[in-house]
Structure 1
Amino acid sequence: MSIKESIKRHRNEVQELRHCFLTERYAKQPELYDECDIQKLRSTDWPVWRFLRTERYNAETALEKLDRCLRWRRESDINYKRGEDVPKEFYEIGGMFTYNEDRDGTCVIYMRIKVNLKIARLNRYIKDFMTFVIDRVDQRTNESGFVVLIDLTDAGLRNADLDLCSHLIHVLRFYFPEALKHCIVYNLPWILRSFWPVVRMWIPNRHQHLVRFANKDEIQDYIDSEQLPKYLGGRCKRRFAEPPDGCRSVREISDNWGFTGDEIDGYLQIFEPHINETQRIQCLD
């Protein structure tokens, strides 16, 4: 059964949950919610149905999850974050980006783990960027959802980040339920295989089937070579690490983040080799 068919089938439950939220939660404390989200909830069924579906149509727990998500959206100001507010280096390193669609026509979000260097002071901003990318894709795709491709090519223990992985799972479960169509773990090296049993414990049993493993011979079972970036063996030459117009460098916004010039210079010295490599692989013929 398609999502649209399921929404239609459960229309009464969707309407009841919407009414319950608006009268029992929103009407009593409207300042806790963003009007952008409330308007979507009033006018479309998907933002309501997704919480019913993930809670197996338990209206009571669905209400709590919906309320929690909408409060988070207001507290985080996620609706008002802009791509150009992110330092251009976050884009140029190519750690997380959207690209072409998979064989089912679903948007794919790529994560290149080899450029995750686990710098504690940057952890918050990297998580915020991850959440921002997912939110923009979610708003664009709605019930069509998206695929996450975790590229572990050349990744090692220095890149393994259970905290970041936990954050990704948490965000997908509680703030974007039912959006993930599947997650492709690409080129998992043997040295990182011991992490999978830990990560698997964080994923509910009924969602574990969404994780698929693929190597270079199997990736095109999911994504056609014409849609796959050149650096992954595909034929698509479209650049993937391009900052939006108006992006400033991390040096220009360092004061907003509370970093000194020396700190920024130190971080850039670490990241610049990876930025340079990313720019090089974007230009593969």
Structure 2
Amino acid sequence: MSYLLKAKSWVPTQEKAADQTLDEQQRKTKEVRELLGSLTAEMPAFLTDATIRRFLRAKNWSTEQAAKDLKETVKWRRQYRPETICWEDIPGREYEARRTYIADYHDKNGRTVIISKPAMKSKSSTKDQIKLLVYNLEMLAMHSENEQDECVVWLTDFHGWVLTSTPLPMFRETTHIVQTYYPGLMARAIVSNPPRIFESFWKVVRHFIDPKMKDKVKFVYTNNPESHKMVADMFDLDKLETAFGGRSTVPLDMDKYAERMKQCDQARGAFLHTNGYSCST
């Protein structure tokens, strides 16, 4: 049996959010705004109270750390302009979306589900793969505006995975973007059926993962009763794909998915326009 299966069972990370009253959250949000100064006027659509609270949660409600990370994120957003990326802008989107897509169902706690299949060989450059990642993260962040806690479950199907499936530089960049520019989104990361060779890879890459994020990673095996129970507790198995222990064999309908993404682009564009931001949508 893989040592990954012997990893400790997933236990919710103890957050300090429960100790923060609404008044304390508002006070700390105001403190962060003061530390950010004129940046809040520069990026009002990004630096909402909800975004600031998300960064505060990720930093255990440290106003200094949250402000520091937000300043770094603003600098990155100036250069990358993630808010302008739309579905039509992504090269090879029909194929790449089959590798990473936002599911049309939620888990039993109402959290958004994003699915990755890294064993599928990409036909796009690393730059374009990162572009799709950022596009998806922007969508997830927009839908997290009214959430009080982490609201995304990331499912990764490792069936057929080999070492060359996930180049180390790509993994490091992906991890950096998720942890630094989009913290406080991920509630759980489910790694499904990793092959034995993944153990060597994990020994290396886990050092790039923030301890708080690492606690949210859970390895599951579809032929293991304990894993099956955990998955069944989290998901409606009739909706969940068989790759993760569910019963659904319905493939991704790319036409419907593309239409859903275009509708999300329109909603995001309206949100940005309302908050004083221009968007190519």
Could you say which TM-score interval applies, normalised by the shorter chain? 0.7 to 0.9
Aligned to 1:228: 240
The 5 Å alignment of 1:137-216 reads 137-142=140-145, 143=147, 145-216=151-222
CA contact (8 A) 2:108 2:235 kept: yes
In structure 2, how many angstroms separate the alpha carbons of the residues matched to 1:233 and 1:213? 12
Q: Which has the higher helix share?
A: 1
2:30 — aligned with what? 15
Whichever residue aligns with residue 161 of structure 1, its letter is P
Aligned to 2:82: 78
**1:52 has 2:56 as partner:** yes
Equivalent AA in structure 2 for residue 13 of structure 1: K
User: Match of 2:163, SS?
Assistant: coil
* Structure 1 residue 70: Cα displacement: 2.1
Amino acid at match of 2:177: V
Please say if 1:108 is aligned against 2:101.
Answer: no
More deviation, 159-168/195-204: 159-168
C-alpha distance in 2 between matches for 1:231 and 1:182 = 17
How far residue 80 of structure 1 moved from its aligned partner, in angstroms, is 1.5
Question: Radius of gyration: which is bigger?
Answer: 1
Instruction: State the Cα distance separating 1:19 from its structure 2 match.
Output: 2.7
**1:246 and 1:149 mapped to 2: Cα distance?**
20
Deviation at 1:127, TM superposition (A): 1.1
Given that 1:84 and 1:245 are in contact with CA atoms closer than 8 Å, whether structure 2 keeps it comes out as no
How far apart in 2 are the matches of 1:175 and 1:75? 13
The offset of 1:102, in angstroms, is 1.7
Which residue number in structure 2 is paired with residue 135 of structure 1?
138
Which runs of 5 or more residues in structure 2 are unaligned? 1-14, 262-281
**Residues 109 and 147 of structure 1 are in contact (CA less than 8 Å); yes or no, is this contact kept in structure 2?**
yes
1:36 aligns with 2:45: yes
Q: Distance between the aligned counterparts of 2:65 and 2:198, measured in 1?
A: 36
User: TM-score, normalized by length of structure 1?
Assistant: 0.72
Give the partner amino acid of 2:128.
Y
Quote the offset at 1:204 in angstroms: 2.3
> In structure 1, what is the Cα distance between the partners aligned to 2:144 and 2:26?
21
Does the C-alpha gap of structure 1 residues 75 and 92 become closer, same or farther in structure 2, counting only changes over 3 Å? closer
2:111 alignment partner AA: T
Q: Which runs of 5+ in 1 are unaligned?
A: 248-285
1:38-77 Cα offsets, whole Å, 9 max, x none, are 4xx2xxx221122223233332232111111123223212
Deviation readout 1:217-266 (Å, 9 max, x if unpaired): 4253332212212555533355425152599xxxxxxxxxxxxxxxxxxx
Q: TM-score w.r.t. structure 2 length? A: 0.73
Change (3 A) 1:52 1:137: closer
Name the SS for the 1:36 alignment partner.
Answer: coil
Partner SS state of residue 165, structure 2:
coil
**C-alpha distance in 1, partners of 2:210/2:62?**
17
1:3–1:236 Cα change, 3 Å: farther
Contact 1:92 1:241 in 2 (8 A): no
Contact 1:94 1:241 in 2 (8 A): no
- Taking the aligned partners of 1:185 and 1:49, their CA distance within structure 2 comes to 28
Q: Tell me if the contact between 1:109 and 1:148 (Cα under 8 Å) persists in the aligned partners.
A: yes
Count of aligned pairs = 234
